Amino acid sequence: MFQSRERRWWTAALSAALLITASGIGVIYVDDTNNQSTIRSLTTQNESLTGRNQILNDRLKTTQANLTATLGELAKTKADLEHPHLTIWNVQQQLKGPSWYLAGGIPDTFTYHLQATSTGPMSVSILTLEQWAKAIQCVDNGGGSTHWCLHHSGAVMSWLSVTSVNYDFHLGEGCADYIAVFTSSSTVTVTPNVSVTYNPASSATGACA
């Protein structure tokens, strides 16, 4: 009788222990499932925030690039306004032998961009007004042809017997004392592309200094 009761007691105790253990495992399982769900949710939120952050970074880079481009355009516009560039001679003209010449004044306060081509040999010189007067006197006194006298009575610089010239002249940026002349010993057509850029010197330049 006693042994039968003892077995029942142990059986009941063992059942209770198993029930408690199973309940604990169930609670742990539920808690672990909830934790995993929370982790997945946080991971998803983090990935979403990372994606949004990348989008914002991309937009920021685009904005910075646009700003840099705009600032570059503004700087160029400012430079263009401060130093306007103008074409002053681009019409083809003929020189019909050694008694002919083409001449044009070089404006004060500008960089003079001397550019021209020709269908045959031409000579180009930049003269001061004093040198120009001497060249005309040379012609008038029979010292030589226009073609010869304009380049051999003194010159700031010359390009003789060429078919093209391309030079930026700066001495007129602070001096109104220069003239460009073109001549040829034969008949040629000159195609000029002469322009100027406003660029006043802070003091007198060249022959005026």
pLDDT given at position 2: 42
Whether the model clears a pTM of 0.85, i.e. scores above it, the answer is: no
Q: Where are the beta strands (DSSP E) in the chain?
A: 85-89, 93-96, 102-106, 110-128, 157-169, 178-183, 187-192, 194-198
pLDDT digits (tens, 9 = 90+) for 4-56: 555 555 555 555 554 455 455 454 555 556 667 777 777 777 777 777 777 77
Q: What integer best gives the mean pLDDT of the chain? A: 85
Q: Two tokens at 58? A: 């991309």
pLDDT given at position 31: 56
Average pLDDT over residues 67-92: 81
Q: Report whether 127 contacts 207 (CB < 8 A).
A: no
Query: Does position 93 have pLDDT exceeding 50, yes or no?
Result: yes
Candidate CATH numbers 3.10.28, 2.60.420, 2.60.120, 2.40.160; the one for domain 85-208: 2.60.120
- Distinct helix (H) and strand (E) counts, the chain: 3, 8
CA 34-38-43 angle, to 5 degrees, is 150
